[in-house]
Amino acid sequence: MQSTARRFKQNAHEAMADAPLQKALGNIKHGFIQKRRKAAARLPEFEALRDQAREIKNHTLAHLDFYLERFEQKVVDNGGTVHWCRTAEDARRAILSVCRLVGAKTVTKGKTMIGEEIGINDFLAEHGITPVETDLGEYIIQLRNETPSHIIAPAIHVNKEQVAEAFRKEHTHLEPGRLLDDPPQLLAEARQEMRDKFLAADVGITGANFLIAETGSSVIVTNEGNGDLTQTLPRVHIVLASLEKVVPTLEDASTILRVLARSATGQEFSVYTTFSTGARRADDLDGPEQYHVVLLDNGRSDMIGTEFQEMLRCIRCGACLNHCPVYGAVGGHAYGWVYSGPMGAVLTPSLIGIGEAGHLPNASSFCGRCEEVCPMRIPLPKMMRHWREREFERQIRPTVARTGLRLWAFMVRRPWLYRRLTGFAVHMLASWAHGGARLQRLPMAKGWTAYREFPVPEGSTFVDQWRAHQRQILEEELA
Amino acid sequence: MTTRGEIFARIRAGIGRDDALDDEKARELIDRLESPKRNLVPARSDLDRTRLVDLFVSMAEEAAATVQRVSHAGAIPRAVVSYLARHNLPMRVTMAPDSSLDRIPWKLEPMLALRQGKADPADEVSLTAAFAGIAESGTLMVISGAHHPSTLNLLPDSHMVVLHENQIVGAYEDGWDLLRRAQGDGEKRLPRTVLFVTGPSRSADIEQTIQMGAHGPRRLHILLVADYVGQGRQAS
Ligand code: SF4
């Protein structure tokens, strides 16, 4: 996906002036926030489960190579295939080649943020394969040619009139005068339209909330059931997942699932939680004939062992977005890429580079609510600060360097000033060294002297010495 | 280096370890996988049987499923017919080819047309048997297999599920134990899908307003039978 993260300030400005968007963002408060609070309060073990969820992921990340190998082995034992992909391009190619092998014309898709990350829809379309989003929110934004503005509610920025407009434009075979005033009518139409697409698709692509090393299973969580239809009806099921999704056992996944739904929507459990293990069995009556896992790195392995490793615990529940005053004010699109809110502000620079996403870690009031609600206890504000520091250093270096050069250029064009100042500097440096030959600390150059000593100039500047030398030659010649 | 090798090299560089784990550590982690331990299980479902069943019912209803309690399997045909009549549904049901459903005395309701097999897109009502009920959240644990086509859980508008009271367990972990036991030593793989269903399909994607029946069933009706079946039999 193309990033507009560089334009964050401008994006944010526009978002604040966007009245329909502001109205839509208002829904978050009455929905997600209250529901999460109630669900958390109702389970006395909620806080303890968060601790365990964090430990499970920490343990997994500390032995990520081991668990990935075990996961792969199990997938292969179950008759499936794992495609290892370093980059978005690798993943796009892997998916395309599976689609081509079965001569796919249409592909249905469950909601997958990794799919957005690698821009799979455009890529498939460019290669003559029609991608169909099946999650209602994703379908709406696909019709509107937009990207998701929330990781679990992709169309949260769209109001029902806009949905109706998109449906009328797309579903031209239906009666133009039909009523599309309220959500039930809209949902019924989407359901009807989608039915045929589910049945016609050759390949179904889903994401994964978890990959289970113990069994080689992939897990999806949905409320609509679209993900299950996507992975059941076509001949081929492709799971598109990033490599930090792996957890050791079914028990571990169950523990994290207990905090996932509660944090995301305030539900006790999502409607459909499905553990898929391989393709259809010999005597099964339905299900796909092939099971592929496209396993994407795309910058994640580089986060391991850094101050951003903890971000890999993220289970994409969206709680940090819902509770973020900045997200609440500007919405998801302002962040300019797939991931928004506090988790996006930390993750996006890791995945597409701080040069591109340098503004995002500043999109925070450091109120700390994100960390308070994050089920995986990810220290989001701390990591945003890490990025700010890095970005500050990155910005500061060229500036200091530029200013220094400009100053030097100014002075060499004014030799008298240059001589005076350098003469003064030599004198100062020599006096700081208290007669020694090397300086261990230099004001305003700590970055340099922290690792090396600065040689003390010997008495006079080059210009002075050269002058003296010239004078000496002249005197010798005259003598 | 292969892409796979490159990814592993990077991960190991990050972890600060040159190669795979040493044998001792690997053994420890393999044990963790082969004899999985439970993490904290909420006390909520730590109840006697009667209360456990009540918890299942109230949680399932909270998730917008409907639950009808019947005393024995012989009462199921009547319950099915009256449910269909109540919702103006056709007297046509597609049923999972499962022996426990076969044994129900369907002849008691001659008006009811039953077909066995996977779901057809035109099917309006399906009837399946659950593997277990999870009281903690009112969830049905459903597995796929020759006798349990997964499309029956997803395609029809109305999904009816037969669950016996003694199939109700407290937590998800109890469900996993039941499944591992039912599979025995022979089958090492999980069934193709293990599906946890908590209420009927829904979406809140339009203006954060919950609408029932997004892509999966609009209605989920649980027929909860008081008499017993052998636990975990459906896994075979
Ligand atoms: S950072 Fe935490 S709160 Fe935010 S999406 Fe990830 S897991 Fe949820």
Judgement on whether residues B128 and B231 belong to the same structural domain of the protein: yes
CATH of the domain at B194: 3.40.50.10420
Question: Which residues of chain B are within 8 Å of residue A30 when distances are taken between CB atoms?
Answer: 208
Evaluate if residue B11 carries a pLDDT over 50: yes
Ligand 1: does its nearest atom lie under 6 Å from the Cβ of A314?
A: yes
| Same domain? B31 vs B53 | no
Asked if B15 and B51 sit in the same domain, the reply is no
In short, whether A316's Cβ falls inside 6 Å of ligand 1 is yes
Which residues lie across from B221 on neighbouring strands?
A: B66, B160
Rounded to whole angstroms, how far apart are CA atoms B32 and A326? 42
Q: Is A30 on the interface with B (CB under 8 A)?
A: yes
Distance from CA of A137 to the nearest CA of B (A): 5
CA of B174 to the centre of ligand 1 (A): 28
Q: What is the sign of the dihedral through the CA atoms of A308, A309, A315 and A319?
A: negative
Within this chain, do residues B107 and B50 fall inside the same structural domain, yes or no?
Answer: yes
Q: Are residues B57 and B33 in the same domain?
A: no
Determine the 3-state secondary structure of B28 from DSSP: helix
Residues of B in contact with A249 (CB under 8 A): 32-33, 36-37
Instruction: Note whether A239 and A98 are same-domain residues.
Output: yes
Tokens of A341: 């809110």
- For tokens 């035109």, the residue is B122
Judgement on whether residues B11 and B120 belong to the same structural domain of the protein: no
Task: From residue B117, give the alpha-carbon distance in Å to each of A67, A236, B114, B154.
Answer: 38, 21, 10, 14
Residues B191 and B91 in one domain: yes
pLDDT for residue B193 is more than 60:
yes
Helices and strands in chain A: count of H runs, count of E runs: 22, 12
For residue A308, being part of any structural domain is answered with no
Query: pLDDT-based confidence at B231, cuts 50/70/90?
Result: very low
Structure tokens at A94: 């892997």
User: Tokens standing for A85?
Assistant: 């992909």
Atom of ligand 1 nearest to the CA of A316: 5
Structural domain span for residue B5: 1-37
Report the pLDDT value the prediction gives residue B106, as an integer from 0 to 100: 97
Tens place of pLDDT for every residue, chain A, 479 residues? Answer: 788 888 888 899 889 988 888 888 887 777 889 999 999 999 999 999 999 999 999 999 999 999 999 999 999 999 999 999 999 999 999 999 999 999 999 999 999 999 999 999 999 999 999 999 999 999 999 999 998 999 988 999 998 999 999 999 999 999 988 999 888 899 999 988 888 899 999 999 999 999 999 999 999 999 999 999 999 999 999 999 999 999 999 999 999 999 999 999 999 999 999 999 999 999 999 999 999 999 999 999 999 999 999 999 999 999 999 999 999 999 999 998 899 999 999 999 999 988 888 889 888 888 999 999 999 999 999 999 999 888 877 775 555 555 655 655 555 556 555 566 555 555 655 555 555 555 555 545 544 444 444 455 555 555 565 566 666 655 555 55
Provide the 8-state DSSP code for A247. E
Report yes or no: A52 and A255 within 8 Å, Cβ to Cβ: yes
Mutate to test the pocket of ligand 1, among A374, A377, A380, A383 (most ligand atoms within 8 A of CB): A374
Contact A228 B197 (CB under 8 A): no
Q: Are B127 and B163 in the same domain?
A: yes
pLDDT at residue A420, as a whole number: 60
A26 touching chain B per CB within 8 A? no
B2, B6, B40: residue with CB nearest A45: B40
Q: A249-272 pLDDT, tens per residue? A: 999 999 999 999 999 999 999 999
What is the C-alpha to C-alpha distance for residues A91 and A120, in angstroms, rounded to an integer? 9
pLDDT band at residue B232, thresholds of 50, 70 and 90?
very low
A381 lines ligand 1 (CB under 6 A): no
- Provide the strand spans (E) within A394-462: 438-439, 454-455
Q: Identify whether A128 is part of a domain.
A: yes
Q: Which of B119, B150, B214 sits opposite A191 (nearest CB)?
A: B214
% of chain B with per-residue pLDDT over 70: 95
Q: Which atom of ligand 1 is the closest one to the Cα of A343?
A: 1
Q: Which token pair is B141?
A: 């644990």
Residues on chain B touching A77 (C-beta within 8 angstroms): 188-189
The domain boundary residue, chosen from A276, A298, A320 = A298
**Sequence-ordered list of residues with C-beta below 8 angstroms from that of A184, at least 6 positions apart, any chain:** B211
- Which of A278, A298, A318 marks a domain boundary? A298
> What would the DSSP string read from start to end of B173-213?
HHHHHHHHHHHTTT--SPPSEEEEE-SS-EE-TTTT--EE-
Look at residue A63 and tell me if it is in a domain.
yes
Q: Please tell me whether residues A293 and A420 are part of one structural domain.
A: no
Question: Among A324, A335, A378, A383, which residue has the most ligand 1 atoms within 8 Å of its CB, making it the best to mutate?
Answer: A378
**Per-residue pLDDT at B161 exceeds 80:** yes
Contacts of B3 in chain A (CB under 8 A): 84-86, 90
- State if residue A376 touches ligand 1 by the CB under 6 angstroms criterion: yes
| pLDDT at residue A403, as a whole number | 60
Residues of B in contact with A190 (CB under 8 A): 214
Give pLDDT tens digits for B103-134.
999 999 999 999 999 999 999 999 999 999 99
Please report the atom of ligand 1 found closest to the CA of residue A380: 1
- Element containing residue A204 per DSSP (H, E): strand A203-206
How do strand B132-134 and strand A246-247 relate by DSSP bridges?
unpaired
Compute, in angstroms, the gap from residue A314 CA to the centroid of ligand 1.
Answer: 5
State both tokens at B210: 């919950």
Query: In the listed set A265, A298, A331, which residue is the last one of a domain according to the structure?
Result: A298
Q: How far is B104 from chain A (nearest CA, A)?
A: 22
Residues B122 and B177 in one domain: yes
- Check residue A361 and give its pLDDT: 87
Mean per-residue pLDDT, B84-104: 96
A430 & A285 share domain: no
Confidence band of B235 (pLDDT split at 50, 70, 90): very low
Indicate which CATH number applies to the domain containing A259: 3.40.50.10420
Count of domains observed in chain B: 2
Residues of chain B with Cβ-Cβ distance to A239 below 8 Å are none
Q: Provide the domain count of chain A.
A: 2
Quote the DSSP letter at residue A33.
I
Q: Is residue A118 part of a domain?
A: yes
Q: Are residues A294 and A419 in the same domain?
A: no
Given B13, B20, B190, which is nearest A275 (Cβ)?
Answer: B190
Range with lowest mean pLDDT among A441-445, B141-145, B210-214 = A441-445
CA-nearest residue, atom 4 of ligand 1: A320
Q: Is ipTM > 0.90 here?
A: yes
Distance (Å) of CA A294 to CA A35, A85, A211, B177: 34, 7, 12, 30
Burial readout B1-35 (b: 16 or more C-beta within 10 A, e: otherwise): eebbeebbebbbebbeeeeebeeeeeeebeebbee
A336 C-alpha vs ligand 1 centroid, how far in Å?
A: 18
What domain range is A174 assigned to? 43-298
Tokens of A40: 């958390």
Q: Evaluate whether residue A19 is within a structural domain.
A: no
The pLDDT of residue A20: 82
Helix axis angle, A46-62 to A250-264, nearest 10°: 130
- The answer to whether the beta carbons of residues A100 and A196 sit under 8 Å apart is no
Whether B116 and B185 share a structural domain: yes
